[in-house]
Structure 1
Amino acid sequence: MKAEYELSLKDYVAIIKGRALLLAVVVVVVLAATIGVAISVPPIYQATGTILVESQQISPDLVSEGNTTYADERIEVIRQRVMTRENLLRIIDKYGLFADKGGRLSETDKIDQMRNAIVVNTLSTFIKGRGEATVAFTVSYEDKRADVAKEVADELVGLFLNENVKQRTERATETTEFLTQEADKLGAELATLENQLADFKQAHANALPENQQLRMSMLSRAELDFREVDRDYKAAQEELRYLDLELSAANSGASTQAANGKAATPDPQDLPSLKAEYARLLTKYTEAHPDVVAIKRKIQVLQASGEKGIAAAASMNLDAARVRTKMAATQSNIASLAEQKREISQKISAYEADILEAPQVERGLVSLLRDHDNAKKKYEEIRAKEMNAKITESLEQENKAERFVLLEPPLMPEKPVKPNRKKIVAVGVVLAPAAGAGLVMLLEMLNQRIRGVGALESVLGKRVLVAVPYIATQADQARRRRWLMLLAGAVVLGLLVLLVLVHLFYMPLDLLLYKAMARFA
């Protein structure tokens, strides 16, 4: 039937009239239930504290910021630390939370309910050059008692402030300690590299790249010295050969003179015998005796001849000695020059070896210098970071860095934030007719009776010629009037009950009337 015949507006009106009492009852019951819920739900008070995220007190151009994490990230970390099981249990025990529920809740249930009652909201704004930034946040706590909500909110705000100081100080201290340890490690590595570099330079002092030009100059100078010494050496050898010839000539002249003067010159050994004979004769004769005069003359001749030979021989021996002295000096000079040539040759070989070794030394030195420079750069960077970390630590300890400042402490809440009774009643006003209509539609769908001429024609497949309307009797009219009176009485009673409930649980009627008049005045 329903698939073939669609109800008309008259049919709907007839259904509403037929189910008017049921519809009215459902509407009144649902509306009364929603109003009862709105009035009976206990009020929830919320105390809120506002904390300002204050930027660093000293200009970042003078002192760089140390803890550069985003404020919302830091707030979330602090929230997790504050809302630990230990802290929440301590607060629950301190303020006697959930005491009205007795032992029905376990510790886990209490902690879960308290976490749900804590609300942390961030307040962001657009900052030029930084974009969206968090400048403040609120910490709220909800409870059935206004004073408890305020006290717990105060406790939570204090925990947030203290935890922020503790966290930032610990982070700055840990950062400083870490950077100090790393700087010490890099300092030890740098000292090791410096020692290696010094040992390498000392071991290859003569082949260092920076001394290459000096070694080339020293090699050129040594080669020049070698040529000069070699020239002097050859000249000394020529002079030695000349002196050798001169010595040979001197020795040859002395031998010739000795051979020519052997017959003419008396033997110097006869002179003493003549003097002895002369002395013997003087013992016998006077000086005028002819024998004495003759021997005296011989002695004088022999003395004169001997002095001339000795002078000549002495002159020849002196020339030879002078030549030998020159030869000895020349030989000594030749030996000295030969030693100088040997030393200069060794120097030249050493210079050449150093020059050939220089590329290998340069490669090793470049490698050590590169490692040393990298280590020094890292060391200087880590030392600079360590200095900044120490400054940041001082700022945190003196509370000069970015900090949380209590902008507005939690106040005693004047009115509850939950439940929103007006919304509940409004929902009841919308839900009551919908529930009544739904129930009526359900009952009509279950009812298979035929309504109206159109439905009958649809069932029979024939046209209805005459329709006799329903004729209400006096009994029907009396019964309808009773139902209307009962309905009116129920509505009036419901309104009276509603006014009493509003007066007792929500707001006195005189105050409510005063506010209504003030709003529409």
Structure 2
Amino acid sequence: MVNENVGFLKPDQLIEIILRRRWFLIIPFCISMLIGIYLALFLPKSYEASTLILIEVQRVSTDYVRSIVSSDIDARINTISQQILSRTNLEKVIKQYNLFSEEKNGKMLLIDKVEMMRKKIIIDVTRGGRSSSGGADSFSITYSGKSPEDVMNVVNTLASHFIDENLKVREEQASGTSDFLEGELFSMRKKLEEVEETMKDYRRKYMGELPEQLDSNLRILDRLQEQMLDRQTRLRDAQTRFSLLTNTINVSQKSVVSSEGTSDIHQLNEQLNALTAKYTDRHPDVIRLKKTIASLKAQGVKSEKSTEIDSARGTFADNQSLVEIKQEVNMINKETAELQSQIDLYKSRVENTPKHEQELMSLRRDYTNIQESYSSLLRRKLEAEIAVNMEKKQQGERFRVIDYARLPEKTTSPDMTKLFFIIMVFGLGLGCGIVYLLEYMDTSFRRSADIESYLGISVIAEVPSIKFPNDLKRDRVHLSATIAFLFISCALFVSFFVVTIIGVEKLKQIINL
């Protein structure tokens, strides 16, 4: 009886139990190997292939050519991924390699196949340290499927699409930037020409009142004022000479008139004196002569005035000096009026200059800003054209495949290594468990020590087992069967090891070699 000492077996006892219970170890092990081989061969398998794509920086130094394409690698990879994983692109790949053509997928819609394929594609971006921005250095494309050839072809096709699409996106982005700058440059050129024309019109409209003409206007104004002073001085001189000449003529005319009137009155007075010596004041002749003298005196005053005027008029008209002076005065007055008009004009120009200066400063400021913007756009346009040429020659940042996808040699699902160890543990554990259970339930005594420990008495002698010819024959059959099953177990183990650890595809390659 061993159930009490089953946990304290000696090596010889353990070997004896293994030999005695060998079939409970071999058969479960063989069965587990068969189950493992069946699972390894007939379980739905999934193969996985991947490729690594390196993001290379532009070959031309950025000190000479600066790329105009967005430097956000992560965003560009995400954009290209959306394009690569689009329904249209995946449909082409599915039709190209006849994916999901198994019988069970016969009724599956194309859009469902696309969605299933999209879920099996993994794009993993590796953040790198070669750039200060911490952007992506590389990324991998992984695809899983049931056919090793298909997954390899799909991954390489997607990698090729990634490279081509990146070149296309970069060239389109560079060309788009160049076209945009061309449009902005054209618009800015029109604005610049409009401002230039506005400044020309403004200068033409306010010619003479411009800030740069202020000094000239001030000098002209000073000269005009000096000329005005000179004309005023000449006018005063002419007027003075005219007055003096007029007064001289008046004095001479008055002296002539007064001398003639005085002579007549003097004669009448002498006659009156002679009459008064003879007659009284009441004498008619004396009265008449007094009246005549009085009348003559009165007429003398009037005729003196009229004669003075007529004489002056005639004299003025006939005097050449007065005519010349009058002409000179008129000419000076005309020149003075013209000078005053010019002075008013230049005063107006000088007074308007500050206002026009402010307006011109505003126009110049606008012109300068637009000109700077135009120059900046022109410089960027030239840089964009160089960048476009760089992208067309594939000298800019690009994707390069480092490791192309290879034919998968092992499955990713199920995990054959795990399956191998699980089946091994299951087969051996099942056999050992059965043996342990049988030994635990076995109440027979197979060794003298069992009897002594159980009954507490000593065994005097042991009778060995007596083998008859039939027993020996049966033992040989059992031995042969055991050896045969051991070989079968080894063959099953090797087969299971090959299909799980080495892999069927690798085995095919070895056989083909």
In structure 2, the residue matched to 1:144 is: 146
1:353 aligns with 2:348: yes
Q: Deviation at 1:89?
A: 1.0
In structure 1, the residue matched to 2:180 is: 178
CA distance in 1: counterparts of 2:230 and 2:424, whole angstroms: 127
Q: Contact conserved, 1:51 with 1:404, CA < 8 A, in 2?
A: yes
Q: Contact conserved, 1:246 with 1:323, CA < 8 A, in 2?
A: no
Task: Map 1:122-271 to 2 at 5 A.
Answer: 122-127=125-130, 130-244=132-246
Amino acid at match of 1:116: K
Amino acid at match of 2:55: V
Q: Contact conserved, 2:37 with 2:495, CA < 8 A, in 1?
A: no
CA distance in 2: counterparts of 1:45 and 1:76, whole angstroms: 25
Task: Tell me: CA distance 1:323–1:92, structure 2 relative to 1, closer, same or farther (3 Å).
Answer: same
Please point out which of 84, 87, 96 is paired with 1:85: 87
Q: Contact conserved, 2:40 with 2:500, CA < 8 A, in 1?
A: no
CA distance in 1: counterparts of 2:249 and 2:393, whole angstroms: 103
Q: Deviation at 1:430?
A: 8.0
Q: Contact conserved, 2:143 with 2:155, CA < 8 A, in 1?
A: yes
Q: Deviation at 1:337?
A: 1.9
In structure 1, the residue matched to 2:387 is: 392
Q: Deviation at 1:81?
A: 0.8
Q: Deviation at 1:213?
A: 3.6
Task: Tell me: CA distance 1:208–1:426, structure 2 relative to 1, closer, same or farther (3 Å).
Answer: farther
What secondary structure is seen at the aligned counterpart in 1 of 2:129? strand
Please point out which of 357, 360, 366 is paired with 1:362: 357
Deviations 1:143-199 (A, max 9, x none): 333333333233222211221121111111221222221222222222222222332
What secondary structure is seen at the aligned counterpart in 1 of 2:69? coil
Compare 344-353 and 228-237 and name the one that shifted more: 344-353
1:501 aligns with 2:491: no
Q: Deviation at 1:85?
A: 0.9
Specify every segment of 5 or more residues in structure 1 that has no aligned partner in the other structure, as ranges.
1-9, 14-23, 256-319, 436-469, 478-484, 513-521
Amino acid at match of 2:64: L
Task: Map 1:89-128 to 2 at 5 A.
Answer: 89-101=91-103, 102-127=105-130
Q: Contact conserved, 1:35 with 1:425, CA < 8 A, in 2?
A: no
CA distance in 1: counterparts of 2:322 and 2:141, whole angstroms: 115
Amino acid at match of 2:188: L
Amino acid at match of 1:53: I
Task: Tell me: CA distance 1:70–1:508, structure 2 relative to 1, closer, same or farther (3 Å).
Answer: closer
Amino acid at match of 1:389: A
CA distance in 1: counterparts of 2:111 and 2:489, whole angstroms: 43
What secondary structure is seen at the aligned counterpart in 1 of 2:163? helix
Q: Deviation at 1:59?
A: 1.7
Q: Contact conserved, 1:50 with 1:136, CA < 8 A, in 2?
A: yes
1:60 aligns with 2:62: yes
Compare 39-48 and 184-193 and name the one that shifted more: 39-48
Q: Deviation at 1:336?
A: 2.4
Q: Contact conserved, 2:33 with 2:493, CA < 8 A, in 1?
A: no
Deviations 1:282-317 (A, max 9, x none): xxxxxxxxxxxxxxxxxxxxxxxxxxxxxxxxxxxx
Task: Tell me: CA distance 1:508–1:323, structure 2 relative to 1, closer, same or farther (3 Å).
Answer: closer
Task: Map 1:446-465 to 2 at 5 A.
Answer: none
In structure 2, the residue matched to 1:459 is: none
CA distance in 2: counterparts of 1:337 and 1:104, whole angstroms: 117
Q: Deviation at 1:91?
A: 1.3
Please point out which of 339, 346, 353 is paired with 1:344: 339
CA distance in 2: counterparts of 1:46 and 1:377, whole angstroms: 57
Q: Deviation at 1:397?
A: 2.0
CA distance in 1: counterparts of 2:81 and 2:101, whole angstroms: 25
RMSD of equivalent CA atoms: 5.0
Sequence identity percentage: 22
